[in-house]
Amino acid sequence: MPPPSKHMVEPDGRLASPLLEVRNLRVEFPTRRGTLVAVDGVSFAIMPGEILGVVGESGAGKSMTGNAIIGLLEPPGRIAEGSIWLDGERIDNLPYEKIRRIRGKRIGAVFQDPLTSLNPLYTVGRQLTETICTHSDMHHSQARKRAIELLAEVGIPAPDRRIDQYPHHFSGGMRQRVVIALALCANPELIIADEPTTALDVSIQAQIIALMKRLCHDHNTAVMLVTHDMGVIAETCDRVAVMYAGRIVEIGPVRQVIKSAKHPYTHGLMGSIPGFGKDVRRLTQIDGSMPGLTDTPSGCAFHPRCPQAMDKCRKVRPDLVPVEQSQIACWLFDEAKEMANA
């Protein structure tokens, strides 16, 4: 059975329901050599106006989870189990045309390389106005005015002039701002941002992060931010989900996860980040590498690399259990609970 919805108490005492709920999501790729499992039993929720970071190594299943939510799984990839709910409506089983309309209007997307989202043959103004007209009742002149407003909102200087320029006239950071403007065209409830700052230098990254936080605050838009950069997570997110080998191993408030990581994998990630003012001769190293889709081990997928692995870890997969304000998938915490209750 899917997990029950979690609710958050608003300042006025009302219960707020999650905008997005992912329940026991499993994404498979049938091949001649067998079925490959890219996402295995992932569940989480995002509240309106919340930024959830999803972090992990390459191949952990972060982007695949985002693609499943917006209906962009490449065949033969498929959602084999679980469900995806947007504001109480199930969307993973909708026909292609319906999910396409939802993807443009209610869910926006920002990808790592803005050139994959922008047509080099059209001006940014044409791309913005066509998107606005597709998802609203505006006439072309109204859509153009709205496009200029969006370019100004995302920090494009002289938007009334730059609206008639082509993508190659913009720098990488400015192109990413245009992509964010495209994602905002229909005032979406949710934005899936997949590595939106990876290809940018540090100063531009900071500007894009500040922009996303401001837009989230101003529009009450929920954001799922996929990244491998814990620095971006720390600066941007309210909560963070740590993924490993297609599963969530830890999820909780970003400050708690960063300052007091519980899962051995998360602890290793935090220890591998250099910090200011710390006299550290050697950073933490996680031995080995993440398993491929064809050789995921039994039990806890992290056990071959875990210095605290027990016999149980090799045989039985742990489920997420509440620990303080977080949820952890690790037998260490079940063992600790059993000892405390003995």
Check whether 300 has a pLDDT greater than 60. yes
**pLDDT level of residue 4 (50, 70, 90 thresholds):** very low
In a domain, 311, yes or no: yes
Distance (Å, rounded) from C-alpha 164 to C-alpha 167? 10
In a domain, 137, yes or no: no
Check whether 297 has a pLDDT greater than 60. yes
Check whether 151 has a pLDDT greater than 80. yes
Check whether 202 has a pLDDT greater than 70. yes
**pLDDT level of residue 2 (50, 70, 90 thresholds):** very low
The average pLDDT across 290-313 equals: 93
The average pLDDT across 211-218 equals: 84
The average pLDDT across 235-252 equals: 96
In a domain, 15, yes or no: yes
- Provide the number of structural domains found in the chain: 1
Residue 209: how many other CB atoms lie within 10 Å: 18
Residue 198: how many other CB atoms lie within 10 Å: 14
Percent of the chain with pLDDT strictly greater than 70 = 90
Q: Which residue has the higher pLDDT, 219 or 247?
A: 247
The average pLDDT across 311-321 equals: 94
In a domain, 122, yes or no: no
> By CB neighbour count within 10 A (0-12 exposed, 13-18 middle, 19+ buried), where does 310 fall?
middle
246: closest CA among 190, 196, 290, 312? 290
CATH number at residue 75: 3.40.50.300
Per DSSP, 305 falls in state G
Q: Tell me the per-residue pLDDT of 88-133, one tens digit each, with 9 for 90 and over.
A: 999 999 999 999 889 989 999 998 888 888 999 999 999 999 999 9
What is the residue type of 296? T
Instruction: Note the Cα 192 to chain centre separation in Å.
Output: 6
Q: Tell me the per-residue pLDDT of 168-191, one tens digit each, with 9 for 90 and over.
A: 999 989 999 999 999 999 889 999
Residue positions counted in the chain: 342
In a domain, 222, yes or no: yes
In a domain, 44, yes or no: yes
Half-sphere exposure of 168 (CA within 13 A, CB side): 3
Which residue in this structure is represented by tokens 């994959």? Answer: 116
Domain residues for the domain of 195 are 8-106+186-274+284-341
The average pLDDT across 268-292 equals: 74
For the ranges 5-9, 14-18, 48-52, 270-274, the maximum mean pLDDT occurs at 48-52
pLDDT at 279: 59
Check whether 218 has a pLDDT greater than 80. yes
**pLDDT level of residue 337 (50, 70, 90 thresholds):** low
Check whether 342 has a pLDDT greater than 50. no
Check whether 266 has a pLDDT greater than 90. yes
Check whether 252 has a pLDDT greater than 90. yes
294: closest CA among 15, 78, 28? 28
> By CB neighbour count within 10 A (0-12 exposed, 13-18 middle, 19+ buried), where does 291 fall?
middle
Nearest 10 degrees: CA dihedral of 91, 94, 97, 100?
20
Own/partner pairs, 333-341, CB within 8 angstroms, 24+ separation: 333/262, 335/310
Distance (Å, rounded) from C-alpha 133 to C-alpha 340? 61
Per DSSP, 66 falls in state H
In a domain, 124, yes or no: no
pLDDT at 66: 96
Structure tokens that stand for 306 in this block: 């875990």
Distance (Å, rounded) from C-alpha 176 to C-alpha 209? 11
Distance (Å, rounded) from C-alpha 279 to C-alpha 287? 22
In a domain, 237, yes or no: yes
